[in-house]
Amino acid sequence: MTTEPNPEAKNTAAKSGGNGKRRKALTILAVTVVVAGIAWLLYHLLYGRWHEDTNDAYVQGNVVTVTPQVGGTVVGIAVDDGMKVQAGQVLVRFDHTDTDVAYQQAVANLANTVRQVRGLYKAVDAGQADIAARRVALEQARADVARRSGLVASGAVSAEELAHARAQLAAAEAALSASQETTARNRALVDNSTLAANPQVQAAAAQLRQAYLAAQRAQIVAPVSGYIAKRNVQLGQRIAPGTPLMAIVPLDEVWVDANFKETQLKKLRLNQPVELTSELYGDDVVFHGKLQSLGMGTGSAFSLLPAQNASGNWIKIVQRVPVRIALDGKELHEHPLRLGLSMDVDVNLRDKGDGLLPTTTDNGKGLVTDAYAQQLSKADALIDGIIRDNLGGGSR
């Protein structure tokens, strides 16, 4: 006779097995959580608390717009997008026919003015000689009148002859006065100045400088070295002064603007070291830089329409502050970046940096160009040559 198994015993065994599996799973989960917590704690203590990172960062740089200083018709374009140019290199040429004519007129006007002023100096010298001659004639006339006045009573000289002598004296006095006035007027035009410093010569020289610069500016040069972008000028186009023709981007002077959350700014300081990577080169290429400046406001504060939070339906949104990062020039030369590329930024907080705001004023030159510096000096040399060539035998 067989014995039937007890159903209650089966249920008890099944429950015991299920509880064991559940207990084992919970134990594994608890161990995993503890290990993860320990790992996170170690990461935070050894690395995380010493770093702030963001991937909301983009390459920025100066975009130098090339604009003409004078108007003209385009007859030559020497560059195209992507080409490298040096400061002072000719980019665009205008038709120079009108400027050449104006320049030649200004040259002739300066030469003629120099000769006219030379004539004024000569007139002053001639006036001095004429005054001396007039004085001699006046003294002679006075002597004739004095001599004849004593002889009229004796009848040796007639009254008519005396009147004639007195008329000659009056004429001599008038001639001397006129000569003195003419000489004084000519002297006023040239007194206390050399020929080159004469106001008339200076005015003509200024006109020549203007014409010379207009002729030079018919060739548009690059104000800085860099790479051409956004060229939109075409041959035959009539260009007005100030029209944007193209842009030059100095890629060796780019920087990175990283937008950190306001909750990340607590330990950020100037000149802290930064490591950056770009998807253009991948993680194999690491750029190094310095935290150059902390933004003076959030992005929304400087937007065209700043946010107004005075309504009752206000929701707090964590703001971001732009932080500028200066890059290493040698690394930029080896691995050029492009404007607008996204970057991953990691700031090393172990370095305490130099505070939140700069404490000194930068008295450096800043952004300057000397691409146009030689134009006026060449014009001055030209003016000196024209004046020298028209001085004649004598110089002042």
Q: pLDDT (tens digit, 9 = 90+) per residue, 290-346? A: 999 998 888 777 777 777 766 667 777 888 999 999 999 999 999 999 999 999 999
Assess whether 241 and 262 both reside in one domain.
no
pLDDT on residue 109: 93
| Domain-embedded: residue 73 | yes
Eight-class DSSP state of 5: P
| Domain-embedded: residue 387 | no
Final residue of a structural domain among 226, 249, 272: 249
Q: Using CA atoms, how far apart are residues 369 and 357, in angstroms rounded to an integer? A: 29
Assess whether 134 and 283 both reside in one domain.
no
3-state secondary structure of 313: coil
- CATH classification of the domain holding 84: 2.40.50.100
| Domain-embedded: residue 42 | no
Phi, psi of 191 (to 5 degrees): -70, 145
Assess whether 234 and 266 both reside in one domain.
no
pLDDT on residue 278: 94
Q: Using CA atoms, how far apart are residues 40 and 34, in angstroms rounded to an integer? A: 10
Structural domain of 121: 98-212
Assess whether 241 and 258 both reside in one domain.
no
Beta carbons within 8 Å of 109's beta carbon, 6+ residues apart: 204, 207, 208
In total, how many domains does the chain have? 3
Each residue of 49-62: b (16+ CB within 10 Å) or e? Answer: eeebbbeebebbbb
pLDDT on residue 363: 64
Final residue of a structural domain among 249, 271, 295: 249
Query: Tokens in use for 52?
Result: 């702030």
User: CA of 167: how far to CAs of 104, 179, 213, 265, 301, in Å?
Assistant: 54, 18, 61, 103, 94
Assess whether 191 and 102 both reside in one domain.
yes
| Domain-embedded: residue 372 | no
pLDDT on residue 1: 47
pLDDT on residue 22: 81
| The one-letter amino acid at 231 | R
HSE-CB for 180 with a 13 A CA cutoff: 9
Assess whether 186 and 282 both reside in one domain.
no
Q: pLDDT below 70 — which residues of the chain? A: 1-18, 43-48, 124, 148, 150-157, 162, 186, 188-193, 309-312, 363-365, 392-396
Q: Using CA atoms, how far apart are residues 282 and 276, in angstroms rounded to an integer? A: 10
Assess whether 118 and 194 both reside in one domain.
yes
User: CA of 188: how far to CAs of 113, 130, 185, 198, 367, in Å?
Assistant: 17, 17, 5, 11, 47
Assess whether 75 and 150 both reside in one domain.
no
| Domain-embedded: residue 259 | yes
Strands of the 84-85 sheet, one edge to the other: 64-66, 246-249, 226-229, 84-85
Assess whether 354 and 322 both reside in one domain.
yes
Assess whether 152 and 226 both reside in one domain.
no
Q: Using CA atoms, how far apart are residues 60 and 57, in angstroms rounded to an integer? A: 9
| The one-letter amino acid at 259 | N
pTM, entire model: 0.71
